[in-house]
Structure 1
Amino acid sequence: MPIRISLQCTVAAFMIVLLNGAGIVADDAGTPVFDPGAEPQMLQTTGAGEGPAWHPELGLLTSGDGHIMRRSIDGERTVWIEGAGSNGLLFDRQGRLVICEPVGRRVSRIESDGTRTVLAETFEGMRFNQPNDVTIDSKGRIYFSDPKYGDRQTMELVDAEGHKVEGVYRIDSDGSVSRVITHEVDRPNGLIVTPDDRYLFVADNNNNTIGGARKLWRFELQEDGTVKPDSQTLIHDWGATRGPDGMKLDSLGRLYVAAGLNRQNPPYETQHKPTAGIYVFSPEGKLLEFAPIPRDECTNCAFGGDDLRTLYVTAGGTLWSIRTAVPGYVLWPTDDE
């Protein structure tokens, strides 16, 4: 039976602002990012640490408190999978839930009949670090990031020279696993493939090392699902604050990235102004708008609601929502399903 958890909701009025000094430009297409006057609204104070994923019948799933939590359409909260040890969650084109399990050090999938299939747990005989986030291309190939935060003594993955690897991997339809990024980024976190399979965006978030990367990168993908050599392009650098985490795309191809920190965390994060929130970039990589979230840490986001125009945001275990001007891009369900 699911565990019932009481819901404590508060509402905070934080107006959307533009960071005029941070190189933000107007959307070339003239389409607003958020609804006029929209403000982030707090929906719950616990249970929403990471990995939001929308299901039109279940509601919103999140990774929180060691479980996969469910927030139903009417706002009721339950534990959906107890002790899941999950992070990134994503429904594939068949409506199956793909799960990154940093605790279990693997990637798995909940099938249509409710059973679980392990998709990947080793590479070249070595266990993964902490599978973090997941994205799927148009061919159904699964890409996931595998950073290592905290104690690094349990790391097994090394390259041919014996150097520890925090990489990005691809799972093909036949179950084979390939490494697509080895040392091109410092510590990969959130990631997403564009609908045309042209680009792979990767959040590089080494937030517990002085001078570690806090950058968003774009890579060109080739037909075989590998990264095109020398295509790495810097989209944004968060400098002295917390770097980028989870991200999603809207129906116009604009990128919504959870990032930043509101308080200093010396000696690693030493920014002077609050920076936590959702950063929205154009398909060309221009910073369009910023929606501040007044709770640390801002970890991920997902589109949901009947019209897919509600952006759900996880931040420090809390859950927020904000209305967007256009629907989000989701793999499932689509209009023809």
Structure 2
Amino acid sequence: MHAHDFEIHDARFRALLLPDAPLEKLYGDCLWAEGPVYFPAGDYLVWSDIPNSRMLRWVPGMGVGTFRANSNFSNGNTRDRDGRLVTCEHRTRRVTRTAHDGTITVLASAYHGKRLNSPNDVVIKSDDTIWFTDPDYGILSDREGGIAESEIGRCNVYRISPHNGEVTLVADDFVKPNGLAFSPDESRLYIADSAASHIEGAPHHIRVFDVVDGKLRNGRVFVEIAQGVPDGMRIDEHGNVWTSAHDGVHCYTPDGELLGKILTPEVVANLTFGGALRNRLFITANTSLYSLSVAVRRFDSS
């Protein structure tokens, strides 16, 4: 790896890097790249280009093509335990699941009869519950969805039951909740608040909660992001938190110590681990998709 591609803040960060691995630019024709998700069964990556209302797919050796031409201004994506795509859509203000045959099912579009704002990011727990954030970015302008008033009046975090589809409120004290990720043992849930992107003096931190019987307890600030705001994040097999920031990807220990940074030419929105060995870090940053092989894997391969 090239020295200019990273900052070492703690010697332990070196053990997570591959010294000769370069930061590669895989694609560069997006307006705002987001929501990367890797599919090991097909060895390909899907991600969102929000303002272009499309989803793209990168396949090793074949390059980039269109995955979905009209994505309803999709943002965050993940895959469930059956390998199906789960997507947050801004324009339709819903969370959907795409079956292997292409059939799309709406998982959530309202809470207590009121339309969601614009679901942003989504993760799935091992019990098949689906957790997602619902800030208002997609209804603030037509560029990322469609201008509208919030029917709920707040930006919350929700959980969807895999049994009856019930949408349950799990956190209502965020300004603009964004990326989220579980710790390897699922005892913790990390949630970014990126409100400083639009509101001066607003939060630009990641909070962490204890997960107890499907509820969030003991919320506290995990880290403040000094450069820009936190957006999407992923957790590696050791419990380290890899989060997006203005200057690249920041890596923190489970105790909140900054280990180091992967520096990127553009503002990072999101990231995920993938590749045959699960150690290839895919980074969506402003107009581009980057990748970097590292010496650690995401804990659950998704």
1:290-321 per-residue CA deviation (whole Å, 9 max, x = no partner) reads 111111x3100011111111101011120111
What is the match of residue 289 of structure 1? 260
CA distance in 2, matches of 1:107, 1:216: 23
1:273-312 alignment to 2 at 5 Å?
Answer: 276-295=247-266, 297-312=267-282
Q: CA deviation at 1:37?
A: 4.0
Tell me if 1:243 matches 2:213. Answer: no
Compared with structure 1, are the counterparts of its residues 58 and 115 closer, same or farther at alpha carbon in structure 2 (3 Å cutoff)? farther
Q: Please give the secondary structure, in 2, of the residue aligned with 1:32.
A: helix
Tell me if 1:136 matches 2:124. Answer: yes
1:132-171 alignment to 2 at 5 Å?
Answer: 132-149=120-137, 150-151=140-141, 153-157=148-152, 164-171=153-160
Q: Please give the secondary structure, in 2, of the residue aligned with 1:46.
A: coil
What is the match of residue 179 of structure 1? 169
Tell me if 1:82 matches 2:53. Answer: no
Amino acid in the other structure paired with 1:284: D
Task: Confirm or deny: 8 A CA contact 2:18 2:293 kept in the other structure.
Answer: yes
Task: Confirm or deny: 8 A CA contact 2:43 2:275 kept in the other structure.
Answer: no
What is the match of residue 205 of structure 1? 194
Q: CA deviation at 1:25?
A: 3.5
What is the match of residue 16 of structure 2? 33
Unaligned runs of 5+ in 1: 1-11, 19-23, 158-163, 261-275, 333-337
CA distance in 2, matches of 1:107, 1:282: 31
Q: CA deviation at 1:108?
A: 0.3
1:1-337 alignment to 2 at 5 Å?
Answer: 14-18=4-8, 24-27=9-12, 32-47=15-30, 49-56=33-40, 57=42, 59-64=44-49, 65-84=52-71, 85-149=73-137, 150-151=140-141, 153-157=148-152, 164-173=153-162, 174-183=164-173, 185-206=174-195, 207-223=197-213, 225-228=214-217, 231-239=218-226, 241-260=227-246, 276-295=247-266, 297-332=267-302
Unaligned runs of 5+ in 2: 142-146
Identity %: 32
Q: CA deviation at 1:327?
A: 1.8
Task: Confirm or deny: 8 A CA contact 2:88 2:122 kept in the other structure.
Answer: yes
CA distance in 2, matches of 1:317, 1:197: 32
Task: Confirm or deny: 8 A CA contact 1:218 1:233 kept in the other structure.
Answer: yes
Amino acid in the other structure paired with 2:90: P
Amino acid in the other structure paired with 1:319: L
Amino acid in the other structure paired with 1:199: R
Q: CA deviation at 1:82?
A: 1.3
- Whose Rg is larger? 1
Q: Please give the secondary structure, in 2, of the residue aligned with 1:98.
A: strand
TM-score normalised over the length of structure 1: 0.81
Task: Confirm or deny: 8 A CA contact 1:258 1:277 kept in the other structure.
Answer: yes
1:243-292 per-residue CA deviation (whole Å, 9 max, x = no partner) reads 100001112221110112xxxxxxxxxxxxxxx10011112221111111
Q: CA deviation at 1:153?
A: 4.7
Task: Confirm or deny: 8 A CA contact 1:217 1:234 kept in the other structure.
Answer: yes
**Higher normalized helix content (fraction of residues):** 2
Task: Confirm or deny: 8 A CA contact 1:13 1:40 kept in the other structure.
Answer: no
TM-score normalised over the length of structure 2: 0.90
CA distance in 2, matches of 1:108, 1:14: 40
Q: Please give the secondary structure, in 2, of the residue aligned with 1:232.
A: strand
1:166-219 per-residue CA deviation (whole Å, 9 max, x = no partner) reads 000000112111010002x22100001223220110001011111111001101
